[in-house]
Amino acid sequence: MNSLTAALLASAALLAAPATAQNASPVPGYSAPAPVVTLPGTPQPPFPTTPPKLIVAISVDQFSADLFQQYRNHFTGGMARLLTGAVFPSGYQSHAATETCPGHSTILTGYRPAHTGIIANNWVDQSVNRPDKIVYCSEDESVTGMNHNNYVVSDKHLKVPTLGERMKTADPRVRTVSVAGKDRAAVMMGGHKMDEIWWWDGKTYVSYAGRPVPPVVERTRKAVADLVARPQEPLPLPGFCKPLDRPITVGSQTLGTGRFQRMAGDLKAFRVSPAADAAVLAMAAGFVQDMKLGQGPQTDILSVGLSATDYIGHALGTQGAEMCIQMAELDRSLAGFFDVLDATGVDYEVMLTADHGAHDMTERQQIRAMPMESHVAPDARTKAMSAAIAKAMGLPNDPPLLMSAEGDIYVNSALPAATRAKVLAEAKRRYEALPQVAAALTRDEIAATPWPTTPPETWTLKEKARSSYDPTRSGDLLILLKPRVTTIEEPAPGYVETHGSPWDYDRRVPILFWRKGMAGFEQPLSVETVDIAPTLAATIGLPIPGVDGRCLDLDPGTADTCKR
């Protein structure tokens, strides 16, 4: 193995050594940066005026702005390098449906979910010819014998082009590569015209049927198989993680004792560990090396979806020692990844953000001065609500009056129009009466809401919902729970914490840009993830008019990178 696969996966030092925050920085010339202070009149180094040869867009799944702020002073590796660039700590996935698929669909398209068509991870399509009417965002539901949990991956539901697609249309020589820990991350960031696209399917790294397997994927597959075949001892605890090192009881589980210890052959445990991100970064770096990305006359683009933070958050929460270890190891793995990119001599530009934030598990919040935290009550279940309405109105409930996916409620389309209207009105009335519900918005209410034009932190619930609303896919009624009410009714193994709410702890994410030679600055005011694509496009002189986002000027000097 001659790529970063060897460095990240065959090296026990990187996967099991103490977190780098306790040690010297693995990035030569970089250390934990001091706060960037730019005084009026201070001369700034010139911003690079030529287009970068390689764009590297990284999404860290569930990397909230709160998590970024909590650990930013402990970063000494790859994240520390990014902190010397342009830092936007209050980026917004501004829509209501703060989930993986819609979030990733905004990052490299410049469009909000209302325009990408990716309203949620799943939605209901009552015309689908299968008992399972739920459609997964990255599936081809026309394939017979499948369902939303067992599906053929497809990009068909993404309605808009990604930055990589636009680049390839403008110059067919452009190479576009997307790798991720989830299919929906790889698809939504990569788009429809991919030279290479690979993701983890729970067992190994796969792509669309019939795609030849390049050597770097074979190397990564073998390295991961060899790694998983061996047991993993608990990872050492960085010193700054020690205050978080305590067990907690959540339902029938006691969490906070494993530190990613793994039995030999446990693929699920591998996915919920820092090693999963190291493997994706290894494969990404291997593609850079093998395909010589950034070494042609054109600018190439690589998108990288790192999913371990999300899996760790769901399974173990955001405020335990495990997440602390993950932050240290992510910082470390990014440093190794950037080292490999540096060695190529390519002028590359990095953007790092997240698809959504998250909120720690209810049980830990309740013992940390937040007694108002709660799990959603059973009476909010769609199945229970449908049965109650059917009984009250004297209607049959087979098939059910109401169906749901995520927060969207769909009224049975086979009902007469007048009956559907009555069922919808009764559902709205009943949901609004529930003490945990903040709003129950009909599709007519959402569609009539003007497109928001103010900063995203000021948006009303209707405006947030409007940004996620697609009339061909959204439900008849959208249920939004009050702050600090989790959609998890009962925590279970692998699922103790979640996201998806319209509140800022799920909407706010960091957005970081870095390129060698650029002057760093920090802008604390809000921006949106839809601003990323037009900003990156501006650095390569590619106009992308008509998107929902705006270009962010990355030059703190006198030049305006958005007008090049």
Tokens of 213: 């397997």
pLDDT over threshold 90, residue 369: yes
Using a pLDDT cut of 70, give the percent of the chain over it: 92
Tokens of 447: 């569609």
Q: Are 99 and 121 in contact (CB under 8 A)?
A: yes
Distances (CA, A) of 9 to 220, 225, 289, 304, 415: 8, 10, 17, 17, 56
Q: Which of 17-31, 99-113, 123-137, 508-522 has the lowest mean pLDDT?
A: 17-31
* Residues annotated in a binding site for substrate: 121, 182-184
Active-site annotation holds for 100: yes
DSSP structural state of residue 232: B
pLDDT over threshold 80, residue 47: no
Q: What average pLDDT does this structure show over 17-30? A: 32
pLDDT over threshold 80, residue 561: yes
Q: Are 542 and 384 in contact (CB under 8 A)?
A: no
Q: pLDDT by residue (tens digit) across 56-97?
A: 999 999 999 999 999 999 999 999 999 999 999 999 999 999
Report the topology of domain 56-118+158-372+500-540: Alkaline Phosphatase, subunit A (3.40.720)
pLDDT band at 13 (very low <50, low <70, confident <90, very high): very low
pLDDT band at 49 (very low <50, low <70, confident <90, very high): confident
- What residues does each domain of the chain span? 56-118+158-372+500-540, 119-154, 377-435+437-481
Q: What are phi and psi of 546, to 5 degrees?
A: 85, 0
* Farthest CA pair distance, the chain: 76
First-to-last C-alpha distance (Å) of the chain: 41
Catalytic member of 100, 318, 353, 486: 100
CATH class of 377-435+437-481: alpha beta
Give me the pLDDT at residue 41, please: 52
Give me the pLDDT at residue 504, please: 98
Q: Please state, in angstroms and rounded to a whole number, the distance separating the CA atoms of residues 270 and 230.
A: 11
Q: 3-class secondary structure for 370-398?
A: CCCCEECCHHHCHHHHHHHHHHHHCCCCC
pLDDT over threshold 80, residue 3: no
Based on C-alpha coordinates, what's the Rg of the chain?
23
Give me the pLDDT at residue 31, please: 34
pLDDT band at 42 (very low <50, low <70, confident <90, very high): low
Q: What average pLDDT does this structure show over 416-443? A: 98
Give me the pLDDT at residue 43, please: 54
Give me the pLDDT at residue 523, please: 97
pLDDT band at 21 (very low <50, low <70, confident <90, very high): very low
pTM: 0.93
Q: Which residue has the tokens 């920090």?
A: 522
Q: What average pLDDT does this structure show over 15-30? A: 32
How many whole angstroms from its chain centre is CA 211?
Answer: 25
Give me the pLDDT at residue 560, please: 83
Q: pLDDT by residue (tens digit) across 479-527?
A: 999 999 999 999 999 999 999 999 999 999 999 999 999 999 999 999 9
Q: pLDDT by residue (tens digit) across 284-331?
A: 999 999 999 999 999 999 999 999 999 999 999 999 999 999 999 999
Distances (CA, A) of 478 to 26, 253, 318, 343, 411: 47, 32, 27, 50, 12
